[in-house]
Amino acid sequence: METKLSVNINKIATIRNARGGNTPNVVQAAIDCERFGAQGITVHPRPDERHITTKDAYDLSSVVTTEYNIEGYPDSRFMKLIAELKPAQATLVPDPPHVLTSNAGWDTQKHQEELTAIIKEIKSHGVRTSIFVDTNLMNIEYAAKTGVDRIELYTGPYAEHYPINKEDAIAPYVAAATLAHELGLGINAGHDLSLENLAYFKLHIPYLAEVSIGHALISNAIYLGLENTIQLYLKELL
């Protein structure tokens, strides 16, 4: 199946915020990413606005023409954004505001009741839902019980172990993806996927619908250019 590339543009906003002003322009970056072949745009508007701001989230909503994916911790601020902007997808991550980056999946058994209510509310707005999870099969089983549409596999451990033993690194993800598909869940993936490890992941993970990539892609673009980099990532997904 085709796997879509959603470009996370948080790092574009990080560079802009370091200097102030509007360079680089986040909205223009999203437009250009789509023009260069990206099939989605992902943002994570954190409460401290250290990269994507609330204003960015609203501004992007009017220009993204592919799939707009807003990810974040489902507090009242996040839920208001989803209700008003109605992006293509809302991805729920468990990290509180002080965490530097999303580095763990949900304990879906522990949080099943609250996730079920949150997902029901988001889906009432016509928005596809996704839960950020690790490869613990229990978490995938309970994710399915919440009524969510997809899971997003946290690929940090895969990226970390890939240079050491890629067969061992991919094995739990194959098992997780297989179970998720059997339970009727769509499968996304993200975190530290790169030009070095993406093709192998795509090759071995069945039913992979979407990957969300930001840090590595924007880092590559510094050397290779944004258009060329997006094309290289798309080739890895063929």
Q: What whole-number distance in Å separates Cα of residue 4 and Cα of residue 208?
A: 9
DSSP states of 106-121: --TTTTHHHHHHHHHH
Residues annotated as catalytic are 44, 71, 191
Closest-CA residue to 92 (of 84, 100, 111): 111
Burial label for 98, CB within 10 Å (0-12, 13-18, 19+), is exposed
Query: Would the CA dihedral through 205, 214, 4, 235 be positive or negative?
Result: negative
Cα three-residue angle 100-103-107, rounded to 5 degrees = 125
Closest-CA residue to 147 (of 123, 127, 126): 123
HSE of 210, CA atoms in CB hemisphere, 13 A: 26
Q: What share of the chain is helix, strand, coil (3-state, %, to 5)?
A: 45, 15, 35
